[in-house]
Amino acid sequence: MSAPTVDGATTTSLRATTSSSGWRRAVGGRTFWFWVFVAPFLTGLLLFVYVPIGWSAYLSVFDARNTVTPRPDQFVGFGNYLSLLTDSAFLTSLGTFTVFTLGIVPLTYACSLGLALMLQRIRVARTFFRSVFFVPTAVSYVIASMVWRMSIFNGARFGLVNSVIRALGGNPVSWLSGDTPVYWVVLVSLRLWLQVGFYMILFIAGLNRIGKDTYEAAALDGASGWRLFRHITWPQLASTSAAVVLLLVIGAFQAFDEFYNTLATIGNYPPFARPPLVYLYLISLGGGTQNLGVGSAGTLILTLVIAAFGIVQLVITRRLERSR
């Protein structure tokens, strides 16, 4: 009678050992720790990105005024979209910032790439100069806007730029009054100061991936200066350039902080240089009606515009790669 007992105990012990080792393998395996580290990020992405996007799409087909939970009888279908697409103020804002995007993207691209190429050539204090140009990216857009508005481009006589103009014999300029389009000088210079350093770092990373032997081989073939850049450096930066241009396009259409804090007064924003997001903010949150339905429809329209730019860029990039 003792033999079966021993066999049963042995079997139970083997099962426990197998179960324990299986649990250890599961806990110690790569898959387990992958989900331990990724799950919080995915949870945050789902709760704070995809759920709001889905709920925004839901609100866009309702007359959701002062509420995020509209009733079924408030359903308006595509009425909010038609309202925006026939709204001259929204279309003007969208058109203005399409032109703004076509201007600011190549300008920021050229400045960032130029700085990256310049810093790659210097041999002394390279890290110092990289840090100097990168530091503005860590500055708050709100703080930078206040400095530009109240100090550098102050419309009064004692503003920094106006002081320089007066010293040269000129008259002070009302930079932000809207009487002339000189406010674009303020906004573009602010945006360049804030963003060029970040994209410069991306280009430097791309330049560091180009092997020295490639340049040496090109030099042996007689390439130098512009020819070296045209046929070696720029083609090798194709993937970096595509990423930079896409980020710049998205950022241009999502402009908000620097424009609002530079041009807005208490409870009011001027009719000029009004980004689409500022206009939608005033409709959905900044005004008395708080029309979240129209605001949500506007964000989806803006998303489609950005996606269209991205598709066009992708097509152009692929054609350029095939032509090479």
Residue 134 has pLDDT above 60, yes or no: yes
Helix (H, G, I), strand (E, B) or coil at 17: helix
Where b means 16+ CB within 10 Å and e means fewer, 10-28 reads: eeeeeeeeeeeeeeeeeee
Instruction: Enumerate domains of the chain plus CATH numbers.
Output: 81-323 (1.10.3720.10)
Q: What percent of the chain has pLDDT over 90?
A: 44
The secondary element (H helix, E strand) that includes residue 87 is none
Please give the pLDDT value at position 217.
79
| pLDDT for the residue numbered 12 | 56
pLDDT for position 141:
93
Would you state the pLDDT for residue 22? Answer: 53
Four-point Cα dihedral 305, 106, 114, 154, nearest 10:
-90
Residue 151 has pLDDT above 80, yes or no: yes
From 27-31, 62-66, 231-235, the region with the lowest mean pLDDT: 27-31
N- to C-terminal Cα separation, the chain:
85
Give the Cα separation of 128 and 205 in Å (integer). Answer: 16
Q: Give the pLDDT confidence score for residue 1 in this predicted structure.
A: 45
Neighbouring CB atoms inside 10 A of 98's CB total 15
Residue 229 has pLDDT above 50, yes or no: yes
Which of residues 22 and 138 earns the better pLDDT score? Answer: 138
- Residue-wise pLDDT for 163-172, tens only, equals 999 889 888 8
Please write the tens of the pLDDT for every residue from 101-118. 999 999 999 999 999 999
Output phi, psi for 198, to 5 deg. Answer: -65, -50
If you average pLDDT over residues 135-154, what whole number do you get? 92
Lowest-confidence region among 86-95, 142-151, 186-195, 266-275: 266-275
The Cα 75–Cα 94 span in angstroms is 26
Q: Is the pLDDT of residue 235 over 70?
A: yes
Q: Please report the pLDDT score of residue 285 as a whole number.
A: 80
Sorted by sequence, the CB contacts under 8 Å of residue 119 that are 6+ apart come out as 126, 129, 130, 133, 200, 204
Alpha helices, DSSP H only, in the chain?
Answer: 2-28, 30-45, 51-59, 79-85, 88-121, 126-134, 141-147, 160-167, 183-208, 212-220, 225-228, 234-236, 238-253, 257-263, 276-281, 292-323
